[in-house]
Protein backbone atom coordinates (compact mmCIF):
# COMPACT_ATOMS: atom_id res chain seq x y z
CA UNK A 1 0.00 0.00 0.00
CA UNK A 2 2.83 2.40 0.89
CA UNK A 3 4.65 1.48 -2.35
CA UNK A 4 1.51 2.29 -4.37
CA UNK A 5 1.30 5.70 -2.68
CA UNK A 6 4.97 6.39 -3.44
CA UNK A 7 4.46 5.36 -7.06
CA UNK A 8 1.41 7.62 -7.41
CA UNK A 9 3.29 10.51 -5.80
CA UNK A 10 6.28 9.89 -8.10
CA UNK A 11 4.09 9.91 -11.22
CA UNK A 12 2.31 13.06 -10.04
CA UNK A 13 5.61 14.82 -9.49
CA UNK A 14 6.91 13.63 -12.86
CA UNK A 15 3.71 14.67 -14.68
CA UNK A 16 3.69 17.99 -12.85
CA UNK A 17 7.30 18.62 -13.83
CA UNK A 18 6.45 18.00 -17.47
CA UNK A 19 3.54 20.41 -17.27
CA UNK A 20 5.71 22.95 -15.51
CA UNK A 21 8.30 22.80 -18.24
CA UNK A 22 5.69 23.49 -20.91
CA UNK A 23 4.18 26.39 -18.99
CA UNK A 24 7.52 27.74 -17.85
CA UNK A 25 9.36 27.41 -21.14
CA UNK A 26 10.88 30.40 -22.84
CA UNK A 27 9.32 32.19 -25.78
CA UNK A 28 8.55 30.02 -28.81
CA UNK A 29 11.22 30.54 -31.47
CA UNK A 30 9.86 31.59 -34.88
CA UNK A 31 11.67 30.59 -38.06
CA UNK A 32 10.90 30.40 -41.75
CA UNK A 33 11.74 27.72 -44.28
CA UNK A 34 11.04 27.17 -47.96
CA UNK A 35 10.25 24.03 -49.91
CA UNK A 36 10.24 23.24 -53.61
CA UNK A 37 6.96 23.13 -55.50
CA UNK A 38 8.55 21.27 -58.44
CA UNK A 39 6.84 17.94 -59.08
CA UNK A 40 4.90 16.92 -55.97
CA UNK A 41 5.31 19.66 -53.34
CA UNK A 42 6.92 17.91 -50.34
CA UNK A 43 7.99 19.17 -46.91
CA UNK A 44 10.54 17.05 -45.02
CA UNK A 45 10.42 16.96 -41.22
CA UNK A 46 12.22 15.51 -38.19
CA UNK A 47 10.32 12.37 -37.12
CA UNK A 48 11.62 12.70 -33.54
CA UNK A 49 9.53 15.84 -32.96
CA UNK A 50 5.77 16.36 -33.13
CA UNK A 51 4.60 18.58 -36.00
CA UNK A 52 1.18 20.15 -36.46
CA UNK A 53 0.66 22.03 -39.74
CA UNK A 54 -2.04 24.61 -40.32
CA UNK A 55 -3.36 26.75 -43.14
CA UNK A 56 -5.03 30.00 -42.08
CA UNK A 57 -5.21 28.74 -38.46
CA UNK A 58 -7.00 25.53 -39.54
CA UNK A 59 -5.08 22.29 -38.79
CA UNK A 60 -4.37 20.21 -41.90
CA UNK A 61 -1.86 17.57 -40.72
CA UNK A 62 -0.35 16.03 -37.60
CA UNK A 63 2.84 13.96 -37.71
CA UNK A 64 2.19 11.68 -34.74
CA UNK A 65 -1.34 10.66 -35.77
CA UNK A 66 -0.82 10.71 -39.53
CA UNK A 67 -3.98 12.82 -39.84
CA UNK A 68 -4.04 14.68 -43.15
CA UNK A 69 -6.68 16.84 -44.91
CA UNK A 70 -6.50 19.05 -48.03
CA UNK A 71 -4.12 20.52 -49.11
CA UNK A 72 -2.15 17.68 -47.48
CA UNK A 73 -2.02 14.63 -49.76
CA UNK A 74 -0.09 12.22 -47.51
CA UNK A 75 2.15 12.21 -44.46
CA UNK A 76 4.67 9.64 -43.26
CA UNK A 77 8.30 8.62 -43.30
CA UNK A 78 9.48 12.11 -42.41
CA UNK A 79 7.71 13.86 -45.29
CA UNK A 80 4.39 15.53 -46.01
CA UNK A 81 3.26 15.72 -49.65
CA UNK A 82 0.81 18.42 -50.69
CA UNK A 83 -1.80 18.63 -53.45
CA UNK A 84 -0.91 22.27 -54.13
CA UNK A 85 1.95 24.63 -53.47
CA UNK A 86 0.86 26.80 -50.56
CA UNK A 87 2.33 28.63 -47.59
CA UNK A 88 1.80 26.81 -44.27
CA UNK A 89 2.52 27.24 -40.57
CA UNK A 90 3.80 24.45 -38.34
CA UNK A 91 4.15 24.09 -34.60
CA UNK A 92 7.07 21.80 -33.79
CA UNK A 93 7.45 20.34 -30.29
CA UNK A 94 10.39 18.15 -29.31
CA UNK A 95 10.35 16.24 -26.01
CA UNK A 96 12.41 13.75 -24.10
CA UNK A 97 10.79 11.19 -21.78
CA UNK A 98 9.91 13.81 -19.16
CA UNK A 99 9.68 17.32 -20.56
CA UNK A 100 9.50 19.57 -23.59
CA UNK A 101 13.05 20.34 -24.71
CA UNK A 102 12.24 22.58 -27.66
CA UNK A 103 9.34 24.29 -29.35
CA UNK A 104 9.29 26.43 -32.46
CA UNK A 105 6.89 27.91 -34.97
CA UNK A 106 7.86 27.47 -38.62
CA UNK A 107 6.42 29.43 -41.55
CA UNK A 108 6.85 27.32 -44.71
CA UNK A 109 6.96 29.16 -48.04
CA UNK A 110 6.50 27.27 -51.30
CA UNK A 111 9.10 28.07 -54.01
CA UNK A 112 7.50 28.10 -57.45
CA UNK A 113 9.30 26.41 -60.35
CA UNK A 114 10.16 28.49 -63.40
CA UNK A 115 10.43 25.46 -65.70
CA UNK A 116 7.42 23.62 -64.26
CA UNK A 117 5.10 22.13 -66.93
CA UNK A 118 2.03 23.26 -64.98
CA UNK A 119 3.29 26.86 -65.14
CA UNK A 120 3.54 26.70 -68.96
CA UNK A 121 -0.24 26.53 -69.21
CA UNK A 122 -0.61 29.67 -67.11
CA UNK A 123 -1.80 32.82 -68.92
CA UNK A 124 1.08 34.60 -70.62
CA UNK A 125 3.36 31.53 -70.60
CA UNK A 126 2.48 29.80 -73.85
CA UNK A 127 5.95 29.90 -75.39
CA UNK A 128 6.71 30.06 -79.13
CA UNK A 129 3.96 27.57 -80.07
CA UNK A 130 1.36 29.85 -78.51
CA UNK A 131 2.80 32.83 -80.36
CA UNK A 132 2.60 30.96 -83.69
CA UNK A 133 -1.05 30.04 -83.04
CA UNK A 134 -1.92 33.65 -82.29
CA UNK A 135 -0.11 34.81 -85.44
CA UNK A 136 -1.93 32.21 -87.56
CA UNK A 137 -5.29 33.19 -86.11
CA UNK A 138 -4.65 36.89 -86.75
CA UNK A 139 -3.45 36.41 -90.35
CA UNK A 140 -6.20 33.92 -91.11
CA UNK A 141 -8.91 36.20 -89.76
CA UNK A 142 -7.60 39.40 -91.31
CA UNK A 143 -6.17 37.87 -94.48
CA UNK A 144 -9.64 37.39 -96.08
CA UNK A 145 -10.81 41.03 -95.84
Question: What pLDDT, on the 0 to 100 scale, is given for residue 55?
Answer: 96
| Comparison of pLDDT for 9 and 137, the residue scoring more | 137
- The answer to whether the pTM exceeds 0.85 is no
| All residues at 6 or more sequence positions from 83 whose CB lies less than 8 Å from its CB, including other chains | 70, 71, 72, 73
Q: Residue 132 — φ and ψ, nearest 5°?
A: -65, -40
* Banded model confidence at residue 16, pLDDT cuts 50, 70, 90: very low
- Is the predicted pLDDT of residue 60 greater than 90, yes or no? yes
* Banded model confidence at residue 115, pLDDT cuts 50, 70, 90: low
Question: What pLDDT, on the 0 to 100 scale, is given for residue 56?
Answer: 94
Question: What pLDDT, on the 0 to 100 scale, is given for residue 126?
Answer: 40
Question: What pLDDT, on the 0 to 100 scale, is given for residue 119?
Answer: 41
Question: What pLDDT, on the 0 to 100 scale, is given for residue 96?
Answer: 85
> How many residues comprise the chain?
145
CA distance 23 to 67: 26
Task: Go through the domains of the chain in sequence order and give each one's CATH number.
Answer: 27-136 (2.60.40)
Helical H segments across the chain, by residue range? 2-23, 117-120, 127-142
Question: What pLDDT, on the 0 to 100 scale, is given for residue 124?
Answer: 40
Pairing outcome for strands 67-68 and 42-44? unpaired
Amino acid sequence: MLDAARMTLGLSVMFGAALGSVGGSSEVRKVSSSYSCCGSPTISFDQHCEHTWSLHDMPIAHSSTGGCVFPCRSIGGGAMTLHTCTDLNATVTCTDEVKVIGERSVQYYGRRCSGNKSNEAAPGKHGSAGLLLVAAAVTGRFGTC
